[in-house]
Structures are given as structure tokens and as C-alpha cells.
Amino acid sequence: MKLYVFHTPELTPDDNVADCAIAIDVLRATSTIATALASGAEAIQVFSDIDKLMYESEGWLPEKRLRAGERGGSKVAGCDLGNSPLDCTADVMGGKRLFISTTNGTRALQKIQASPQVLAAALINRRAIVEHVVQQCPETVWIVNAGWEGSFALEDTVCAGAIAQGLIDALGCSLADITGNDELVGAVALYQQWKDNLLGLFHYASHGKRLLRLNCQSDLKYCAGLDVLDVVPIQREMGVLIQHR
């Protein structure tokens, strides 16, 4: 197994040769997706374009859908929700389809949606993702970070490193055995440095600071939790994620 980390969708090759592709947007899209599915959402449908989200979701009964839209950390007008995983409670999500469009995370998912297997990962479901990948044993794994508007993001990279370290431990292999590119080594090093203070790292991250200015301290604390949820969001059809059973 070889792992490759790409810091943004823009840095991800267009010619996707990965057997398994994992999208990460810790703050906050993939954390929200994992939480929504754990809370009983029927499925998550992702969009990079908010107008397309509105159009596609019109085909669903209002009581069977939720629209989540976020730009710049704030909720989009006309949507039911923004992008906070803390809003994804069982009474809100149960049996509904979540239509979601965010600044960065949904672009990462759309970049890899043609892969044979697409997963959505965050720190909160890291262990579940690792166990799933070990079971599937794909030859090539791409980890695609959302970043922030085309730039490197600390929180996504530390999550990529956490996944890689989890695979190293589970497979009993070395870092050299699974390294596909330099970015993978850097991600593991970042995780090793900050694994005992992930929330502290978020306070250094540019998007972490942005969310703090928006009074989203509780979101940061929740998203910094490691191995909280036993859920694997997996693409069932292009652009639609469900909980793997």
C-alpha cells in the first residue's frame, strides 16, 4: 500500500489513479458529514455550486431534506444550516438527506468523485477510516486535503498524518513502506508533533483563527477530538455519501 497526500484539490492530479481516495476537511465539512451520518442522515449529497444545490434539492419533499451552505465560515442565506457539526443532532438529521456546499471541503470531494472508492475523513472518525482501509487493502491511496481557498491547511494535514500513522500501526509497517510522496512524510511529522494537543494546533491554523473570530470555539473543540465516531462515509453514487455498513 502506498499513500499520497495532496494539500489542496488544485494540487491533486487530474488523472486519478487511486484505488481509494480520501477527502479531508476537518474544519468543518468532513467533520459535519461524519456527524450527520452518525446522527441518522439518510445520505449526504455534496455540491461545489450553491445554486446547483438549491436546484437539485427542490426535487425532495421539504420534510425529507436539509440544505447546508457555508461560505467564508458563515451560513449561506436560504439554507437550513451552515457547516457546524454540532447542529447535526439526531432529531434534526434523522432520516433526512443533507444537501451540502462549503467553501473548500465539497470541492475536495468532487475532485476525487470518479475514484473507485471515495471516503470522507476527519479526526473524529480517523480510527474507523483506518480500519476500513486496512480491510480493503487498496494498492494506492490518495488523501486529498481541502485546504483553504487553494492554500495549505494545518488541520487537514495533521489529519492526513493521523490516518497515515494509524495505518502504519495497524499494518505493522514502517513509514518508508507506505510513503508515496514527500507530503505524506510531512503530514506524519506534523501529527507526531501535535498529537497530544490537536486543539492547540487549531489555534495556530488560519482557518481555526477565522472560526474563533466567528465564535465557533465549540466547533474547534469538537473537530479536534480523535476517534470519536465509528462511521465511514463512503460514496454510493457520484456525489452522494452514505454510512458504510
For residue 233, being part of any structural domain is answered with yes
CATH of the domain at 122: 3.90.1560.10
For residue 127, the model assigns a pLDDT of: 98
Answer yes or no: is pLDDT of 92 > 90: yes
Report the percentage of the chain scoring pLDDT > 90.
89
Could you tell me if residue 96 is inside a domain?
yes
245 part of a folded domain: no
CA distance 227 to 182: 26
Rounded to the nearest 5 percent, the helix, strand and coil shares of the chain are: 45, 20, 35
Alpha helices (H) along 39-145: 50-57, 90-93, 105-111, 126-136
Looking only at Cα atoms, what is the longest distance across the chain? 51
Identify the pLDDT of residue 72.
Answer: 83
Residue 69 falls within a domain, yes or no?
yes
What's the pLDDT band for 91 if we cut at 50, 70, 90? very high
Return the pLDDT at 244: 93
pLDDT for the residue 15: 87
Grid coordinates standing for 62? 421539504
Rounded to the nearest 10 degrees, how much is the dihedral formed by the CA atoms of 3, 5, 156, 19?
-60
Rounded to the nearest integer, the mean pLDDT of the chain is 95
Q: Which three cell numbers stand for residue 166?
A: 494509524
Q: What one-character-per-residue DSSP string does 141-187 give?
A: EEEEE--BTTB--HHHHHHHHHHHHHHHHHHT--HHHHB-SHHHHHH
pLDDT for the residue numbered 106: 84
Which helix (H) or strand (E) covers residue 37, if one does?
helix 29-38
Q: Is residue 60 included in any domain, yes or no? A: yes
Section 176-201 average pLDDT: 98
Rounded to whole angstroms, the Cα distance separating 232 from 214 reads 29
The string of pLDDT tens digits covering residues 116-168 is 999 999 999 999 999 999 999 999 999 999 998 889 999 999 999 999 999 99
102 within a domain of the structure (yes/no): yes
For residue 173, the model assigns a pLDDT of 97
Q: Could you tell me what percent of the chain has a pLDDT over 70?
A: 100
For 179, the domain range is: 2-240
Helix or strand run (H / E) with residue 212: helix 206-213
Domains contained in the chain, number: 1
Inside any domain, residue 191: yes
Residue 126 counted as domain residue? yes
Euclidean distance between CA atoms 204 and 183, whole angstroms: 20
